[in-house]
Structures are given as C-alpha cells and as structure tokens.
C-alpha cells in the first residue's frame, strides 16, 4: 500500500538524513548541510503555518520520500510543491507514484486549481518528471539561484486541475 502521511516529529531524524544526503542536497536551492537545530526550527515554522503542509510518502509502511506543499492560497486556489525520494533503494516508479498521490491530494483534498513548481534549469531529471506528470513550462527566472560562483536559471512550471489526467 502506498500513501501520504503528515510529517510528524517522530520522522524528523530520517528526513534530516535524506535532506543532507548528496543526491537530495545537490538539487536544492540551499545546498548547505542542515543542522539538527535548523531542522527543528524549520519543523516548528511549518507546523504552525496553515499555508504549508509536509507529507511523507510511504510504500508498504516504509517512508521513502517527502512532499512539501507551500504558499497554499485558498483565495486563488494555488500552491507550490517540492519533493524528493530520500531512500536511494526506493523501488523504481516510487517518484511517479508519490507525485500522483500528492497531485491528487492538492486537487481533491486541498481544492487547488493550480500547482506551481520551480525547477533549476540544470535539473533535467526533474524537468522531465514534471512534464511526465502533465506540468507545462510557464516561464524562466534568469540567474535566479546562486550556486557556488555561478548563477542558475529556474524554470517555472504549472499544472492546472483541468489538465490533470490522474
């Protein structure tokens, strides 16, 4: 069985381990390693913010990944999302299933009309993933993220409820 569950304090250690792993950290806007104190502070902030929800993706009772839904705007029925598979040995197709469950949750449970995403232009895997799920490119933020000594472009993408084929 595959499902999304709200992030609880119990799972903070594994989420920090995932977030600090190279395969996750190097596709994030902030690529620094996160301390336990910073992680706890993040959890407190999001736990008290009704416009921010975080879920863990479970397959067969094992946590495999994380989905963040942020900037939930009930007036405009729009939100942003971010995600990653944390477990390197996750079964093939886990990311797709996690994305489908998350999109269903945003459109059904949260009653969103539009899901927005920002993807670093260099992250070809994430760009292809979004397209596979039905997202369309909406724009480009030039030199939007500083990465070491260089600046990276960020592609803006979105999925409208009417285009979701889930």
CATH value at residue 41: 3.40.630.30
Contact 39, 12 (CB under 8 A): yes
Domain assignment present for 141? no
pTM (2 d.p.): 0.93
**How far, in Å, CA of 141 to CA of 134, rounded?**
21
Neighbours of 145 (CB within 10 A): 18
Domain assignment present for 138? no
Nearest Cα neighbor of 64 from 88, 81, 43 is 88
Domain assignment present for 72? yes
Domain assignment present for 139? no
- Quote the domain boundaries for residue 24: 2-116
Q: What is the pLDDT along the chain (166 residues), one digit of tens a residue?
A: 999 999 999 999 999 999 999 999 888 888 889 999 999 999 999 999 999 999 999 999 999 999 999 999 999 999 999 999 999 999 999 999 999 999 999 999 999 999 999 999 999 999 999 999 999 999 999 999 998 899 999 999 999 999 998 7
Total structural domains in the chain?
1
CB-based contacts of 97, cutoff 8 Å, min separation 6: 2, 57, 59
């Amino acid at each position: 069985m595959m499902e999304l569950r709200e992030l609880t304090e119990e799972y903070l250690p594994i989420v920090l381990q995932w977030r600090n792993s190279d395969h996750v950290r190097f596709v994030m806007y902030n690529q620094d390693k996160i301390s336990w104190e910073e992680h706890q502070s993040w959890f407190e902030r999001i736990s008290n913010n009704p416009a921010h929800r975080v879920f863990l993706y479970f397959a067969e009772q094992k946590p495999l990944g994380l989905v963040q839904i942020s900037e939930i705007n009930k007036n405009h029925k729009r939100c942003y999302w971010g995600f990653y598979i944390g477990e390197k040995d996750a079964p093939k197709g886990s990311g797709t299933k996690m994305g489908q469950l998350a999109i269903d949750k945003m459109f059904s449970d949260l009653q969103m009309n539009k899901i927005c995403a920002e993807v670093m232009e260099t992250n070809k895997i994430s760009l292809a993933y979004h397209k596979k799920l039905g997202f369309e490119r909406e724009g480009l933020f030039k030199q939007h993220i500083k990465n070491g000594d260089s600046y990276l472009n960020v592609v803006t993408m979105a999925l409208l409820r009417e285009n979701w084929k889930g």
